[in-house]
Amino acid sequence: MNALFPDGFRWGAATAAYQIEGAAAEDGRTPSIWDTFSRTSGTVRNGDTGDIAADHYHRVREDVALMKELGLTDYRFSLSWSRVQPTGRGPVNQKGLDFYRGLADELLDAGIRPVATLYHWDLPQELEDAGGWPERETAERFAEYAGLAAEALGDRIATWTTLNEPWCTAFLGYGSGVHAPGRTDDAAALRAAHHLNLGHGLAARALRAAVPASAELSLTLNLHSIRPVSSSPEDADAARRIDAVANRIFLDPVFHGRLPADLVEDTTGITDWAFVRDGDLEVISTPIDSLGINYYTPTVVGAGVSESPSPYPGAPDRVRFEPAPGSRTAMDWPVDADGLHELLVRLRDELPGVPLMITENGAAYDDYADPEGAVHDPERVAYLDAHLGAAHRALADGVDLRGYFLWSLLDNFEWAYGYGKRFGIVHVDFASQRRTPKDSARWYAEVIRRGGLAR
């Protein structure tokens, strides 16, 4: 019997501005931290940058036509802040807004719901020069930008997501430094996490004031599905520590209006959290309509010492990371669909009444076009089938799961890995910009058509 999903389930694919758009210096866009970072020697493999990427800025029509062919009901994309508001403060750039207006119109004409993320890691460089996310002002600027985007595009966007994966912004960007802006300062990373939360809350309020009541507000987190290596109290405590600094640092302020007490305790010696002001947690817990979850692989931990530099403040000398068993993707990430099911069931219990969306899930493999021009990617099909299967089991277990966005529509700029890692269900030949749907694209189109998995 097939594993069918409920009527109205949203079938999507996701992308992000810097990873696909290109046109980095066109029509008034100014540099973001990723333009600067990717130009810094030794930061991105091969010296790759997002200057051209998948040239989506010039190929919107072709790309939306592909989405229509696949039968997507929803498309999740992000706005480049420095394209919309070049200096990160003050007036908008009309041409930048026109681009997103045009994209939304193409989508609506194709019968696809536009799902817009305001921040997918590309802070305008001017705001980083003024201190970046560790500074409170960045949260205020973010709310201003959210209000401007909402006023201009509010009649066209079905779902607004404030932030994508603030954990990565805070801890990879300001902690371990493997992402832009490449800073390595644990205290700054924790300040950044709080100001990202605050920016989310302020932006949610600005959006609510400007968009139609029918628009949904959301936040996307890359929640960690954490497993202790054993049931020993020491390993359980290692798992608790990572849960605090990876999951509850966002979930507790946003959904419960509080900071996790154990996180504050674990990070004594790094910060006293004095940057959290009266009223902040109330703003951060402004109600939203759904939570987006990005899941790729589980996190297995035990008591011990982690490799350095660790992106988890307060954990390096207490927690070691172990590889999960199983096959690996080209990112060397273990494939483990049960981790997705575990996460969804946890959220069902911890956040009753909060609808969930899987806003990213997918895998990189070393795909290539064969002499006939076809791209066969059976491992990706197996990965997606297993994870959609886990999502289906979660629905049967009472999880209020509303949709699934596969990462990613197109091969793209995979941050510090450059163009070497291909996550797309559509192959992009970056020399010619030719798009070729992989076998997984055809498989996904069939899943959408059927409304679920063949079993």
Residues within the interface to ligand IFM (CB under 6 A): 16, 19, 165, 294, 360, 407, 414, 423
Q: Is 251 left (phi over 0), alpha (psi -120 to 50) or beta?
A: alpha
Those residues with Cβ within 8 angstroms of residue 14's Cβ, 6 or more apart along the chain or in another chain = 75, 76, 77, 359, 360, 405, 406, 407, 408, 409
- State phi, psi for 135 to the nearest 5 degrees: -100, 140
Q: Using the minimum distance from each CB to ligand IFM, give the nearer residue, 250 or 407.
A: 407
Q: Using the minimum distance from each CB to ligand IFM, give the nearer residue, 165 or 379.
A: 165
26 is catalytic: no
The per-residue DSSP string of 219-249 comes to EEE----EEESSSSHHHHHHHHHHHIIIIIH
Q: Which one of the listed residues 128, 135, 342, 360 is annotated catalytic?
A: 360
In whole angstroms, give the CA distance from residue 191 to residue 194: 5
In whole angstroms, give the CA distance from residue 129 to residue 378: 45
330 and 337 Cβ atoms separated by less than 8 Å: no
The per-residue DSSP string of 295-314 comes to -S--EEEEES---SS-SSTT
Those residues with Cβ within 8 angstroms of residue 129's Cβ, 6 or more apart along the chain or in another chain = none
Q: Using the minimum distance from each CB to ligand IFM, give the nearer residue, 93 or 162.
A: 162
Tell the smallest beta-carbon distance from residue 407 to ligand IFM (Å): 5
Q: Which one of the listed residues 165, 216, 379, 414 is annotated catalytic?
A: 165
Tell the smallest beta-carbon distance from residue 162 to ligand IFM (Å): 15
The per-residue DSSP string of 148-204 comes to HHHHHHTTT-SEEEEEE-HHIIIIITTTS-SSTT----HHHHHHHHHHHHHHHHHHH
Which amino acid, 450?
Answer: R
Per DSSP, 254 falls in state I
Number of H helices, E strands in the chain: 16, 15
Which among 387, 380, 396 is positioned nearest to 442, based on CA atoms?
380
Cα distance between the two ends of the chain: 5
Q: Using the minimum distance from each CB to ligand IFM, give the nearer residue, 93 or 412.
A: 412
What H or E segment, with its residue span, contains residue 427? strand 426-429
Q: Using the minimum distance from each CB to ligand IFM, give the nearer residue, 173 or 260.
A: 173
Q: Using the minimum distance from each CB to ligand IFM, give the nearer residue, 391 or 406.
A: 406
Q: Using the minimum distance from each CB to ligand IFM, give the nearer residue, 164 or 285.
A: 164
Tell the smallest beta-carbon distance from residue 294 to ligand IFM (Å): 5
Tell the smallest beta-carbon distance from residue 420 to ligand IFM (Å): 12
CA angle 354, 17, 45 (to 5 degrees): 110
Q: Using the minimum distance from each CB to ligand IFM, give the nearer residue, 160 or 405.
A: 405
In whole angstroms, give the CA distance from residue 188 to residue 255: 24
Radius of gyration of the chain (CA): 21
21 is catalytic: no
Select the residue whose beta carbon is closest to ligand IFM and give its number: 16
Q: Using the minimum distance from each CB to ligand IFM, give the nearer residue, 77 or 255.
A: 77
153 and 116 Cβ atoms separated by less than 8 Å: yes
Catalytic positions, written as ranges? 165, 360
